[in-house]
Amino acid sequence: MSTTNWDPKEHVSKNIIALLSNIVTTTKNSSSVDIDTRSNNHNSSSISSISSIGGSGSSSGYNNYNYPLAFFHIVQNLKLQKRTGWLNNGISPTLAESISDHMYRMAMMAFLLRDKTIDRHKCMLISFVHDIAESLVGDITPFDTKVDKNEKHLRESKAIQYLCDQIVAKYNKQAGEEIKERWLDYEEQRCIEAVYAKDLDKFEMLVQCFEYEKSVVSDCTSKNDKTDQLSRLEQFYDCIDQITTEEVKGWLKALLKEREDFFIQLKSSE
């Protein structure tokens, strides 16, 4: 599939497009708002009340807030979209984690890092935004036969440019630039914090995988189904050797020991 034909705006809902089309501007340092004449179901007092929101120092009026609202609605997709890798390997949609579930725990992992040579908060920000393009692109795995790695990157780059330049920066230019820069940090692995975030991306997946393994053991009643499901989850541990930072390798060692003890105990109880 050619990325030249892929447009991020085509993946934005009509309601959000309408919200972005209804941006109202004002003169600088004025709280007065030029209300579209189609919006005639507000009385003058309610309009006056709304106009005062944000204070008289607002440079673009209350409907400037439609930009952050649109962004918030778009990233809602990250809460709803289940991670494709789990769905493709037998985890039910009700149990499968969402993209935002994954990013949140990654950021919490970054919060706990104690390596004094890194900017921990930068690593957290990278973790928070590294998959944000998936709010428009979706969660494309390396096993997707329709979209290769280069195509995936190009689509995500277009999505980031659209989100940051056409929506976020219209309200907060600094925030738009920072989201874009932190995303590029991760994509290009151009700082040590991004290297840590890449390791946390894999480690968080492994923690989740072990949690699913425990669920399979406790919830699956068919022995054959249990064996099959555990075998499918085993493949996720193939990424172990790709984790390079010493601290995350230490966490990984502890996780693998916990997993080993779990299965030893399980076998002894059978």
pLDDT at 145: 66
- Give the DSSP per-residue string, 83-119: PHHHHTTT--TTTSPBHHHHHHHHHHHHHH---TTS-
- The structure tokens 């990157």 sit at 153
- In the chain, which residues have pLDDT < 70? 1-4, 24-63, 145
Within 10 Å of residue 165's Cβ, how many Cβ atoms? 14
CB-based contact 51:32 (threshold 8 Å): yes
Contact between 35 and 46 under an 8 Å Cβ cutoff? The reply is: no
Q: In this predicted structure, what is the pLDDT of residue 62?
A: 56
Distance CA 220, CA 6 (A): 41
pTM exceeds cut of 0.85: no
Structure tokens at 252: 């990984």
Tens of pLDDT, residue by residue over 176-188, are 999 999 999 999 9
Q: pLDDT at position 9, please?
A: 92
Run of H or E residues at 50: helix 44-51
pLDDT at 270: 72
pLDDT at res. 128 = 97
pLDDT value of position 222:
85
98-131 burial code (b ≥16 CB/10 A, e <16): bbbbbbbbbbebbeebeeeebebebbbbbbbbbb
Residue type, 45: S
